[in-house]
Amino acid sequence: MPGCVIHAAGDLRVEDVPAPRPGPGEALVAVRYGGVCGSDLHYWRHGGVGDFRLRERMLLGHEVVGTVVAYGSPAPGPAAGTSVAVHPATPCGVCPECADGRRNVCRDTRYLGSAARFPHVQGGFAARIVVPAGQLRALPAGLGMRRAALAEPLSVALHAVRRAGDLAGRHVLVTGAGPIGCLVVAAAKAAGAAHVTVTDLLPAALEYARAAGADTLVRADDPQDANRPAEVDTAVEASGVAAGLDTCLRLVRRGGVVVQLGMLPQGPSPFAGNLLVSREIELRGAFRFDGEFDGALRLLAAEPAFDALVSAVVPVRDAASAFELAADRSRSCKVLLDFGAAPAA
């Protein structure tokens, strides 16, 4: 069966991978769609993301929806034939962070398609995958698989918004209008933000942010842009570029909160850290998510506007062009790999 495997930086292959068999407590899932994430693109281009480096071949992908095929042993979970989204994380449950209720920063989590551990946890970009049964979530009524493929990145956005604190009635700045930034816009609106301003270098990306509900669009490379706000209440940095964080620190009001969500490059980042002191700004990181996944599915079921953020669906055999497309934000927002309809059970 076809799988989308990264071997090293620049070496992405669609190859025949062995069909997995579920063990006790595990489920076999026929994957329908897999969303191409910024981290997948980083593995492809750079052989790593943040501090995680590729050390062996790895199936990419952690934004996965499909159909339950079977369980390895009788397990509580959606019945065979049910459309499901796969929660990509299995935290260890025993480390200090898990004990503290911060399972998203578990020090020993297993996350689909991540090189954080060695051996790496293989990902979901294959026609069939085996995952712990507890990671399956049945899709709510009325939610199709195409839109449901946004559940994982929307969960990331919901977690960032939660980290930002109460947004009701606030003016929120989002730097970066990639898929995550756009989903942060939607999450902030759902959390009651009164006004959302988004910055990006690319007009096409800003148009996706508008579709996600942004009120004001700003060209990040134009200091004279008349839409640039004088001040915002809260900022979420979603570009993963230090200049974005710098912008957030300069525009957030005194005593405001800045959430760093974009994955900054390895090593030191230049930004105006003195503003943290003189304006008593709170800088908070946001990493992945935990319980937000169920809320993401409910939000997706209720809001057809999310469909606009899925800009292309590409057959897995053309994964290379899908990655090229996803990496070109002037032509795409979220790109899905299509593994084909599940065969009749």
Binding site for Zn ion (CB under 5 A): 91-92, 95, 98, 106
Closest contact distance (angstroms) between CB of 121 and Zn ion is 14
Shortest Å, Cβ 244 to Zn ion: 30
Are residues 27 and 71 in contact, defined by beta-carbon separation less than 8 angstroms? yes
Closest CA to 292 of 89, 84, 34, 38: 89
Shortest gap between Cβ of 289 and Zn ion (angstroms)?
15
User: CB within 8 A of 81, min separation 6: which ones?
Assistant: 67, 68, 345
For Zn ion, give the closer residue by CB, 97 or 324: 97
Give the nearest distance from C-beta 111 to Zn ion in angstroms: 12
Question: Counting every residue, how long is the chain?
Answer: 345
Query: 246 or 290, CB closer to Zn ion?
Result: 290
Whole-number minimum distance, CB 162 to Zn ion, in Å?
Answer: 19
- Distances, alpha carbon 10 to alpha carbons 13, 15, 79, 211, in Å: 10, 15, 39, 32
Closer to Zn ion by Cβ: residue 90 or 155:
90
- Between residues 99 and 305, which has the closer beta carbon with respect to Zn ion? 99
Say whether 148 sits in a helix, a strand or coil.
helix
Our CB check for Zn ion shows the closer of 64 and 106 to be 106
The backbone region for 276, taken as left when phi is positive above 0, alpha when psi lies in -120 to 50, beta otherwise, is: alpha
For residue 267, give both structure tokens.
Answer: 């090593």
